[in-house]
Amino acid sequence: MPQFKYSHVEREVEVYGYDRVVKSHCRMCHGGCGVLVYLKDGRIEKIAGDPDCPINHGTLCSKGIGATQLVYHPDRLTHPVRRAGPKGSGRWERISWDEALDAIAERILRYKEEHGAESIVLGYGTGRDNEAVIYRFANLLGTPNVLTAGHFCYGPRIATTIITCGTNPIADYENHPRCIMVWGNNVVISNPDCYKGESFSQALDAGARLIAVDPRLTRIAARADVWLPLRPGTDTALALGMLHVIVHEELYDKEFVENHVYGWEPFVERVDEYPPERVEKITWVPREKIQEAARLFATTRPAVVQWGVAIEQQVNCADNNRALLALMGITGNIDAKGGQVLFKPPRIVNVGRFGAHDMLPPEQAEKRLGGDRFRLAGNFAIINPKCVWDAVLEEKPYPVKMLFFISSNPLMTRGNAREVYRALEAVDFHVVADFFLTPTAELADIVLPAATWLEMDYVGDFWKRHGYLLPRRKAVQIGECRSDHEMLNDLAHRVGQGEFWWDDFEGALDFILKPMGVTWKEFKEMDYARGEVAYRKYEQNGFSTPTGRFELYSTLLERWGYDPLPQYREPPESPVSTPELFERYPYILITGRRLPGFFHTENRQLPWLRELHPDPVVEIHPETAAREGIREGDWVVIESPRGEVRQRARLFEGMDPRIVSAEHGWWFPERKDPGHGWEESNINVLTSNAYEDCDPAMGATHVRTLLCRIRPEGGGGGSA
């Protein structure tokens, strides 16, 4: 193990009698935080932040601290099980790993022979650093169908940034941006993808100006110099309105635009369609505030945009990202020190190469579900979930016979949850790998016990774009739990892929690290590795796009038949697009608010984290609550045209009275019935997954904004 360079670790070991301290890298959420894992008699006693880690500098959130309760939870699945009754009956029998993997391999080979490899769909959720190994297995098998959250989470940022400027530009907090615009993001709670709230907070403490774009008065918005409380779902219009101000007041970086931008003239014509006066009517944001924010962002350099998933779970997903990229680019903040940097990773086998995307036969790639409809997604090996459910339920365009979900709970996280349930119930064979018997796992035929991040060795963060690699070191072994990587490595040998895999997964880690000239054993003695840091690389090399320029006008989107410029689309349900529906459902419902202890549907069974937030909560403005006869703490029925759920009322003045804000991901693992109350408070019972409501290029399901009505449970209500 690396030598510890700070005395408090040695002191704690001596005082409290710990016999080992493992230096590792957390994955309780999006990952990245260095940790010290204290063990006594082979058991984890405490987890603390690692002060030497460049990602979190010793800070750690509640999820990282609570990981101990995850590892040792009494309901944890610690051995493979096979269904012993009807689907959803809750009856299981214990089987061995060999029995489980042999049965899974037999089904894979049978379906491939009888229906083609495309009839097998693998899937994962937000990921536990397992995406590359899952894609490797799928591509070598010959199935183009990997169902991820990537159609509406992070994947759109990767896809749109690659076609615009070559890679995902990351906020360079290390070099003190002077202005930060937080857009649809709550970084201090969510710690999203390549970011940690600590770095953002440090930048503010150092004097950065702050713009917050959010319908809710979050703590970030309360601290902002300018808060833009937009109407939910109107982000693209707001961004184009800010761009209008920057262009017409000539606040843009003229040298960058002249020498490094493609499509300036048609871009200006598009921006001309969105003067602040029009944007005010669309977004509810006063034009003066739009102008103030645009001027502050454009004239305070370096500046960054802290963006997140809220802008991606919309019909405007790709264009939201592209409009924000335009704000970064024309203000001269792309690849600028303290701005939005195109970081380079260390020299490794990257995610794409490890995932064997070049080994999927072209004729199989053409069979990707929805690939002909959502072409931006399809070109990045991403599929829309409804395409899978239709292939299961209607066998169109061909039958899907097997689903294999790893670290995913789609019954709770995908739009139109009741359709998801029907598909999971109907599919011929269903496998899940997870920590617990989740609502999704309860509908499976075989469930495999997954290892947590504390139970594996891995090269952490090698899929991210911030330029760091960190060793994740195994601290404990729990029962028969195995990492997703080990499990797929073993399964691959059973289905004829052995020549492309390894005797054990340490060989894969050596393969990833080989271009660096180190082995896993050598890397795990290091604290971290970082790629070479350089700025304004485009001045010598251009951008990795078809034109070699920063493409405001996307040549690839044009080739695929889409509008090459960002445009605004009205949300599929809104006071504007569906006025008759609005008469019956008079509130705009937003979903997905982040909570400190939970990671989407995870952690509700961990006492330390659940006590922070015991019930699902819907925020309602006091004026609205009074009108509907709702009091603080009441259980409230939230209804959309697709169904109704219940959450507990919290009165909140920090948003427009026309908005209601609900939470996502809620199920009740403490309930021992097989469904665990999956329908009761699951906000995706209310959401739509209709194709016409999805982003036309990315296939993002529009789950963040819809229309609803509310009433106190068991009572009436003014407009309900």
Grouping H, G, I as helix, E, B as strand and the rest as coil, residue 260 is helix
Is residue 627 located within the same domain as residue 546? no
Q: Is residue 267 part of a domain?
A: yes
Query: Is residue 551 a contact partner of residue 263, using CB atoms and an 8 Å limit?
Result: yes
| Type of residue numbered 675 | G
Measured CA to CA, the distance from residue 150 to residue 128 in angstroms comes to: 14
* Residue that terminates a domain, selected from 559, 594, 629: 559
Q: Is 95:680 a contact under the CB 8 Å cutoff?
A: no
The Cα 309–Cα 80 span in angstroms is 34
Same domain, 676 and 548: no
Is there a single domain that holds both residue 618 and residue 662? yes
| Cα 228 off chain centre by | 24
CB atoms within 10 A of CB 429: 19
Same domain, 639 and 706: yes
Q: Tell me which of 493, 526, 559 is where a domain ends.
A: 559
The two tokens of residue 538 are 């485009």
Cβ proximity of 321 and 307 under 8 Å? yes
Q: Nearest-CA neighbor of 516 among 462, 465, 453?
A: 462
- Co-location of 550 and 680 in the same domain: no
Q: What is the pLDDT of residue 129?
A: 87
Residue 309 and residue 239 share a domain: yes
565 and 505 Cβ atoms separated by less than 8 Å: no
Residue 197 domain flag: yes
In this structure, are 551 and 667 located in the same domain?
no
Torsion, Cα of 36, 42, 45, 46 (10° steps): 10
Q: What is the pLDDT of residue 15?
A: 61
> How far apart (Å, rounded) are the C-alpha atoms in residues 526 and 522?
7
In a domain, 356, yes or no: no
DSSP for 389-434 reads HHHHHT--SS---EEEEES--HHHHSSSHHHHHHHHHHSSEEEEEE
pLDDT by residue (tens digit) across 397-417? 999 999 999 999 999 999 999
Total domains, the chain: 2
Q: Is 278 a member of any domain?
A: yes
Task: Check whether residue 234 and residue 295 sit in a common domain.
Answer: yes
Co-location of 546 and 596 in the same domain: no
Distance between CA atoms of residues 97 and 447, nearest Å: 11
Residue pointed to by tokens 């999203």: 192
Give the Å distances, CA to CA, from 529 to 249, 281, 554: 43, 49, 34
Contact 491, 89 (CB under 8 A): no
Same domain, 551 and 606: no
Q: How far is CA 470 from CA 346, 452, 482, 662, in A?
A: 11, 17, 21, 36
Q: Which amino acid is at 290?
A: I
Per-residue three-class SS string for 126-186: CCCCCHHHHHHHHHHHCCCCEECCCCCCCHHHHHHHHHHHCCCCEECHHHCCCEEEEECCC
Q: What CATH number has the domain bearing residue 254?
A: 3.40.228.10
* 700/414 Cα distance (integer angstroms): 11
- Single-letter amino acid code for the residue at 109: L
Sheet strands side by side (includes 43-49): 20-25, 34-40, 43-49
Within-domain flag for 595: yes
E-state strands within 429-511: 429-434, 446-449, 458-460, 468-472
Q: Is there a domain that residue 76 lies in?
A: no
Residue 19's contacts (CB-CB under 8 Å, 6 or more residues apart) are 13, 39, 40, 41
Q: What is the gyration radius of the CA atoms in the chain, in angstroms? A: 25
Q: How many helices (H) and strands (E) does the chain have?
A: 29, 27
Query: What's the pLDDT score for residue 714?
Result: 85
Q: Could you tell me if 701 and 313 are in contact, meaning their C-beta atoms sit under 8 angstroms apart?
A: yes
CATH number of the domain that 630 lies in? 2.40.40.20
In a domain, 484, yes or no: no
What does the CA dihedral 627, 629, 631, 635 come to, rounded to 10 degrees?
-120
DSSP 8-state secondary structure symbol assigned to residue 542? -
Assigned domain for 37 exists: no
CA dihedral 90, 95, 99, 105 (to 10 degrees): 30
CA distance 154 to 608: 29
Cβ(63)–Cβ(29) below 8 Å:
yes
Using one digit for the tens of pLDDT, what is the confidence trace for 679-691? Answer: 999 999 999 999 9
Q: Look at residues 352, 21, 310 and name the one whose alpha carbon lies nearest to residue 157.
A: 310
CA distance 516 to 524: 13
- Which residue numbers in the chain have pLDDT < 50? 1-6, 717-720
Q: List the one residue out of 409, 444, 460 whose CA is nearest residue 669.
A: 409
Choose among 118, 126, 122, 125: nearest CA to 135. 122
Q: Is 61 helix (H, G, I), strand (E, B) or coil?
A: coil
186 lies in the same domain as 280: yes
Instruction: Report the DSSP beta bridge partners of residue 638.
Output: 645, 710
E strands, 273-373, where?
A: 303-307, 340-341
Domain boundary residue, one of 559, 588, 617: 559
Domain span holding position 213: 166-343+538-559
Are residues 230 and 324 both part of a single domain? yes
